Amino acid sequence: MNIQPIKQRFGIIGASPLLDRAIEIAAQVAPTDLSVLISGESGSGKEVMPQIVHAFSARKHGPYIAVNCGAIPEGTIDSELFGHEKGSFTGAHEARKGYFEVANGGTIFLDEVGELPLTTQVRLLRVLETGEFIRVGSSKAQKTNVRVTAATNVNMLQAVQRGRFREDLYYRLNTVPIHVPALRERKEDIHLLFRWFAQEAASRYKAPAITLTGEAQQLLMAYRWPGNVRQLRNLVEQISVIEKDREVTATTLASYLPTESTALIPTSHGENGKTGEAINERELIFKFLFDMKSDLNALKEQVRLLNSGQRGMSTPPTTPFPEKLLYAHGADSGMSIRMPGEADDEDVDHTEVEESLSLEEKERELIQKALAKHRGKRKKAAEELGISERTLYRKIKEWDIQ
């Protein structure tokens, strides 16, 4: 199939095989009435695919309505999609047609379909299966003949597993899947898009088009582009307006590229199923580990201070904290402990004990001792341990300390 005329008609720039395949599938499925689910990251250009599907279908002379499901409040989305009757809710001063009624005979594009509330998903499933819908506040079913296309930038299978999206609706929408590749998946198009946007900016602002040095081109290709084509367009606009030198160096380009960690963490799509949500979970795990390390360091410092205080006391300490090990020998067979006041003679018999090396057990023991010392007062126990009261509460709950 020759897709070059389609690219020219819809202003699609690029020669990536992945992009060409997505356009080819959209054109092939267009003459049918099958539902299409378009997946891809935000800013990758998903909104072009349903336009192709509509333009090459038998419904091309009918209405085409694009609805951003994520931008409509949950309380009004049913009314927006399916309409409502007069007096059906506060503020419904007259009856109103919904998008499915207005788009009868045409195509409706549901962008960010993964954001739909579960109650609305039930209504949408009925439309897809029977072609019927009911206005809010009405009991009369109405018929509509609408081709549904949808798009999402989330992992729908994960949303199904977590109970956020109906499984039956997912498979009903996903009759024909189309994946729009991220910009980093079509590196051969990055510089081409840069030059195209530079020419557009030059024409708009009546100035020479910006160009890149060799090193700047390499940086452009190596960057991850988390915002995809939208981010690249915005970057070209900024440089075209701000920079007086029309040849952009790598140093200048780098100053316009965000340095946030989210732009540097690699992501993938497809078989691995990794998404931004998985990245956030990993970051939370790392943060939790760092917090735990800080808490343990604080506990170690507290123990060191307690030991220092004990060595300077002439009478046995009254603190309920156990006396700490001062010397250890024979690591292979256990730990030989010499308590304060014992002779440092190799011939002296040593008491052999099996000492647990679990940091969690030591931490739990110290927390129990601190709570006992302060009669269950968490604030004073936390101060004694050198940790926050919130951290102490979390550990008490985690380990079920009575």
User: What pLDDT sits at residue 220?
Assistant: 95
Q: What are the tokens at 258?
A: 């965000």
Same domain as 67, residue 196: no
Contact 45, 225 (CB under 8 A): no
Tell me the C-alpha distance between 389 and 297, whole Å.
Answer: 16
Residue 65: strand pairing partners: 108
Q: Which of 181, 200, 228 is the last residue of a domain?
A: 181
The amino acid occupying position 107 is T
- Give residue-wise pLDDT tens across range 186-223: 999 999 999 999 999 999 999 999 999 999 999 999 99
Q: 3-state DSSP helix/strand/coil percent for the chain, to nearest 5?
A: 50, 10, 40
Grouping H, G, I as helix, E, B as strand and the rest as coil, residue 175 is coil
Confidence at residue 130, expressed as pLDDT on a 0 to 100 scale: 93
Find out whether 166 and 157 touch, Cβ atoms under 8 Å.
no
Confidence bin at 284 (pLDDT 50/70/90): low
In a domain, 336, yes or no: no
pLDDT in tens, 151-163: 999 999 999 999 9
Q: Are residues 372 and 236 in the same domain?
A: no
Q: Same domain, yes or no, for 306 and 190?
A: no
Same domain, 52 and 176: yes
Span 21-38, average pLDDT: 96
Same domain, yes or no, for 172 and 28?
Answer: yes
Residue 285 is predicted with a pLDDT of: 56
Count of structural domains within the chain: 3
**64-78, 252-266, 270-284 — most confident range:** 64-78
Boundaries of domain holding 148: 4-181
Same domain, 173 and 232: no
Domain presence at residue 335: no
Q: Are residues 25 and 84 in the same domain?
A: yes
Average pLDDT over residues 295-314: 64
Please report, for the domain that includes residue 139, its CATH number.
3.40.50.300
